Amino acid sequence: MDRDTRYSLKKLRKPSPRPLANDPLDQDAPSIGIPAALHLFEDLAFWEMFFSILGIRTVVSRNLKQPVALGKTLAKAEFCAPVMALHGHVVHLLKKTPYVFLPFYFEEKTNQKGVRRQHCYYTQFTPSVLACLDSGEKDRLIMPTIKYLYSSLHTKMALYRALKPVIPHRPLSFFDIHAAWDKAMEFRKTEQARLAAVFQTKTQDVFGVKVLLLGRPYTVLSDTMNHHIPQMFEKMGVQTFFQDMVNTLDLDLSPIRPLLEEIHWKYAARILESAYAAALTDGLYPVYITSFRCSPDAFGVDYFKQIMERCHKPYLVLELDEHDSSVGYETRIEAAVRSFTNHFQSSSRSKAVPMDFSPLFLTGPMTRPLFSPTGIPSPAN
């Protein structure tokens, strides 16, 4: 049988082999479940390596079918689909492992003074919500604070305090945590560099239309959440990439800097940075994938549209619902690819150039400033 050589974003993103524990894990090694959902999805490879170095076996719920449907039977409030899915993943893992790793992710540290990059408020409080589902299971959830404004030393200490009580029969020192964290961080940096290099090579070698998928990794990259949208593009012969493969560190973001400084959501800011990069890259067209009930995305998608329209470049926005049918998405994707192709082949298409995106910040009768993404003054009331 001939080997399948078709382009696949999923295969392209498969991590390089991870360094394992110093000693092979035995059958008596402690095990911890890691939900393949919400904030943890992006860091799965990191945490698998971290725990492997410590000699702890991990059970990851990547293959859980219909997590949203399961989560809806458990959640006690109306949430977006990714949060519903997390409910399903956690309860599934509690049936398979003694403990489930469910840390708090509040905010990413930045090197820019006054710039905040917070996770959405659902992500911030979801571990607490899940701890309240069943009071008898609360002690089986490992919930250290991992991402906030603290130093890495504070994070390592939080991990040490959270893990030591659940692994009493195996010696675990703070220096073990320290070493495992640093090695996992090096692995993450290596993977990020690899993905950036792959994007650079692929976009230079392939002539024609390419698609940059924008959105939250737990929505865009999860097979149980994305309705197989990347594969729909790939079946049409269009290569797809994800936003974290685009290196925006060397990109002049000054035209959208005022906007980025006002946005405090981590993913919203990353999406807009990548969208701007796509707007300036010939042959690269952005597709924004969001979820119904996602408040930060509802905020960010308008600015995304403004950026693309200022650059006179076609784009596509897909809002995912909780239904299984993909027919509606296929129709819109086919139309989008035709639009992208027509734009790319147009002889009158102007070359992408940096735009002037200077939002106005106005002070009206209210005490808070009013923000106008179009540069047109907004009424105060």
Is the domain 206-372 a CATH 3.40.50 member? yes
Per the listing, tokens 């619902």 go with 321
Integer CA distances (angstroms), 188 to 15, 48, 104, in order: 9, 11, 19
pLDDT at 4 over 60: no
pLDDT for 204: 85
Q: What is the pLDDT of residues 100-119, one digit of tens each?
A: 999 999 999 888 888 889 99
- CB distance 362 to 258 below 8 Å: no
pLDDT at 249 over 80: yes
The mean of the pLDDT values for the chain is 86
Residue boundaries of the structural domains of the chain: 9-187, 206-372
Q: What is the pLDDT of residues 85-99, one digit of tens each?
A: 999 999 999 999 999
pLDDT for 26: 61
Give mean pLDDT, residues 130-146: 91
Q: What is the pLDDT of residues 340-370, one digit of tens each?
A: 999 999 866 666 666 666 555 445 554 554 4
- Within a 10 A sphere around the Cβ of 104, how many other Cβ atoms? 19
Coil/strand/helix, residue 77: coil
**DSSP bridge pairs for 362:** 370
pLDDT at 271 over 70: yes
Integer CA distances (angstroms), 162 to 144, 198, 255, 288, 308, in order: 6, 37, 44, 37, 45
Count of alpha carbons within 13 Å of 201, Cβ hemisphere only? 7
At 45, the pLDDT band (50, 70, 90 cuts) reads very high
